[in-house]
Amino acid sequence: MKELPDSAFNPLLKLDNQLCFSVYALSRLITKAYQPLLESLDVTYPQYLVLLLLWEHEELTVKQLGEKLLLDSGTLTPLLKRMEQRQWLSRRRDARDERSVVVALAPAGRVLQQQAHEIPVQLAEKMQLTMPEIEALRTQLRQLITLLA
Amino acid sequence: MKELPDSAFNPLLKLDNQLCFSVYALSRLITKAYQPLLESLDVTYPQYLVLLLLWEHEELTVKQLGEKLLLDSGTLTPLLKRMEQRQWLSRRRDARDERSVVVALAPAGRVLQQQAHEIPVQLAEKMQLTMPEIEALRTQLRQLITLLA
DNA sequence: CAAAGTTTAATTGTGCACAACTAATTATTT
DNA sequence: AAATAATTAGTTGTGCACAATTAAACTTTG
């Protein structure tokens, strides 16, 4: 009997079939789709996510940012230092608990918010999805996230 | 009138509402879910994706790998060099077109395939999804991928 | 055929992402 | 109170990911 490639027996090993690869590829494509919109602000996508949170909450500890973004200090500390250098935010130890570092929105970070208004709208257009479609997809992904997180 | 935070007016700016963040977070969680399964092979997730393709196709040019994985030579070249050092694959210029580099599965890479059989199954279990659910989700994601790619 | 243009990898430099570890502070236990 | 444990950021080292550039090989065109 002729030998067949393994993927003939185990179609799960075929790349095209893999849900995980789709998520991985889509994630990078989304970052690229954001890039032309973000580069006018000279902000990377992870930095934009931090700004989204600070626009909403004004100040958060590194730990709180990490919980919301699912990132650890090894990623956040250098990222926040770069953002501090550009004066978008400030970092200071919490007086009530010197272990914590409080990250607060700075005036220049507030200015960026004005320029960011159209970004979510433009991106939704790029993805050509209706609101209900976006809702449904996000709900499914969030189920997986809570499962794996 | 009292000032409200901007996200009250523009809920799209709220992180929790963002489809894009869900994809980004899920992608990293999936990589982490793979990690305990892949570390027994001492392979990273992107390296595993390359292996999946080589198990299927035996040999591919860097360009073909890039097209399938949506990665460029800046990412692939150093990754493939590391895999070549471990003797999982070989790299050689194509005699018919010296611009191309042919990446071919090496015997040690074939051995890895045996150990990888259970990985997709174990991951599907972790995600607690039925096959139809996986299919449906993947179809939606692939639509977005072709749109953005 | 020669010049101009295209294709393919490699290189360089920046910024995540994360595991493993360290150091400092706070909380808990005895 | 002293010893122990837990929490929080920071540090170090490795590996992607990608933009921008370079260099070599091939293709097309005048």
CA pair distance B149, B53, nearest whole angstrom: 19
- CATH code of A37-116, in short, is 1.10.10.10
Chain A: give the shortest CA distance to residue B73, in Å: 16
pLDDT recorded at residue B128: 87
Q: Residue A102 CA to nucleotide C26 C1', Å?
A: 17
User: For residue range A117-149, what is the model confidence (pLDDT) as tens digits?
Assistant: 989 988 888 888 888 888 889 999 999 999 998
Distances (CA, A) of B104 to A75, A109, A142: 35, 49, 38
Instruction: Identify which of A24, A52, A138 has the shortest CB distance to residue B27.
Output: A24
Per-residue DSSP letter, A14: S
Q: Residue B113 CA to nucleotide D30 C1', Å?
A: 53
Q: Residue A68 CA to nucleotide D6 C1', Å?
A: 21
Tens digit of pLDDT at every position of chain B (149 positions): 444 455 555 666 777 779 999 999 999 999 999 999 999 999 999 999 999 999 999 999 999 999 999 999 999 999 999 999 999 999 999 999 999 999 999 999 999 999 999 899 889 888 888 888 888 899 999 999 999 98
CA pair distance A89, A96, nearest whole angstrom: 20
Which tokens sit at B142? Answer: 């692939």
Q: What is the secondary structure of B18-67 as a DSSP string?
A: -HHHHHHHHHHHHHHHHHHHHTTTT--HHHHHHHHHHHHHSEEEHHHHHH
Question: Are residues B141 and A49, on separate chains, in Cβ contact within 8 Å?
Answer: no
User: For residue range A29-77, what is the model confidence (pLDDT) as tens digits?
Assistant: 999 999 999 999 999 999 999 999 999 999 999 999 999 999 999 999 9
Q: Does B148 touch chain A (CB under 8 A)?
A: yes
**For the stretch A109-145, what's the b/e string if a residue is b when 16 or more beta carbons lie within 10 angstroms of its beta carbon?**
beebbeebeebbeebbebbebeeeebeebbebbbbbb
Residue A148's closest chain B neighbor by CA? B29
Question: Are residues B141 and A26, on separate chains, in Cβ contact within 8 Å?
Answer: yes
The 3-class secondary structure across B119-144, one letter per residue, is HHHHHHHHHCCCHHHHHHHHHHHHHH
Q: Does B142 touch chain A (CB under 8 A)?
A: yes
> Residue A25's pLDDT band (boundaries 50, 70, 90)?
very high
pLDDT recorded at residue B17: 76
Rounded to 10 degrees, the C-alpha dihedral A105/A108/A114/A119 comes to -80
State how beta strands B89-94 and B59-61 pair. unpaired
Cα distance from N-terminal residue to C-terminal residue, chain B: 46
Name residues 73-102 of chain B within 8 A of A (Cβ).
Answer: none
Instruction: Identify which of B113, B142, B147 has the shortest CB distance to residue A22.
Output: B142
Cα B127 to the chain's mean position, in Å? Answer: 17
Instruction: Sketch the domain layout of chain A as residue ranges.
Output: 37-116, 118-149
| Pairs across A and B, CB distance < 8 A | 160
